[in-house]
Structure 1
Amino acid sequence: MAVSVRHMLDAKGRNVVAVTRDRTIEEVATILNENRIGAVVITSLEGRIAGIFTERDLVRSVAEKGAGVLSQPVSSAMTTTVTRCREETTLNELMGIMSSGRFRHVPVEDQGRLVGIISIGDIVKARIQEVETEAEQIRAYIAS
């Protein structure tokens, strides 16, 4: 059975750190640091995904515009073209999406609403668990 995003969210939880587009970049940088995360999802008032702001976005905006950018709204530096997945997406499909897009965080959407986020760390953990389960099954088969 293929591991799905739903399975990963059930194991890790569905909590997502999300902010609105009017928060300053400095406020969002503090949120990233306090939560020890690499990305926040920017949502509209209706809870829909409006963008994503990552550590890379922070570094790029400061490098291009200087420290003064920290007082600007996060909407000025967020990524607005957000690749999303659904709970039915498989682990292998998501690995392909992340590899080809060269990003480490994918919001999970259901009927237009944010329901979770998967990071590359979540994928690595799920893949390790999958390999360990397969190895245990092989050991049990050989022993029988």
Structure 2
Amino acid sequence: MTVKAILKEKGGDVFSMSPDTTLAAVAQELSSRKIGALLIMEGDRLAGILSERDIVRQIAATGAAALDAPAASVMTKSVETAALDDLIDDVMSRMTTSRFRHMPVVEGGRVVGLISIGDVVKRRIEAAVRERDEIRDYIMST
């Protein structure tokens, strides 16, 4: 299964904010949309990614004043991305090894989606269950 299959089912909605948005505004957006991360965009260019974890770490390090800081000061600037044809197992391995939970999907230099480790694991479990059922059906039919 590929990243394209995940986005086909999930959709390609991507929520983003600008680098000068405060962490308080980012936190509000994450909370209201019930998401764990959003992209920081400069026009059509991916500038970074900012997650709930990033905000919590910044608050722990600098206190409540962190909420007034701009997203650009906290976001991950070196963002690993996936392509539509990437295999789910490869993406899951990259996310696990690098210890991050969200990955933008880029095609032709343009962001076309955002997947989470939850999306990847869900599809991997569905595939394993499907495979189990096919093996069981095969065994039962012989």
Shorter-chain TM-score category?
over 0.9
- Calculate the aligned-residue CA RMSD, in Å: 1.0
Match of 1:32 among 30, 33, 41: 30
CA distance in 2, matches of 1:6, 1:36: 23
Instruction: Give 1:137's aligned residue.
Output: 134
Deviates more, 1:30-39 or 1:134-143: 134-143
| Runs of 4+ deviating beyond 3 Å | none
Per-residue deviation at 1:95?
A: 1.1
TM-score normalized with structure 2 length: 0.95
Per-residue deviation at 1:116?
A: 0.5
Per-residue deviation at 1:7?
A: 0.6
Return 5+ residue gaps in structure 1 as ranges: none
Deviates more, 1:131-140 or 1:96-105: 131-140
Per-residue deviation at 1:64?
A: 1.5
TM-score normalized with structure 1 length: 0.94
1:14 paired with 2:12, answer yes
**What amino acid sits opposite 1:100 in the alignment?**
T
Return 5+ residue gaps in structure 2 as ranges: none
CA distance in 2, matches of 1:74, 1:103: 18
* Alignment map for 1:1-144 (pairs within 5 Å): 3-45=1-43, 47-144=44-141
Deviation track 1:107-129 (CA, whole Å, cap 9, x = no partner) reads 10011111111101101110111
Deviation track 1:10-49 (CA, whole Å, cap 9, x = no partner) reads 011111111111211100000111111110011111x221
CA distance in 2, matches of 1:43, 1:37: 17
Matched residue of 1:64: which SS? helix
Matched residue of 1:96: which SS? helix
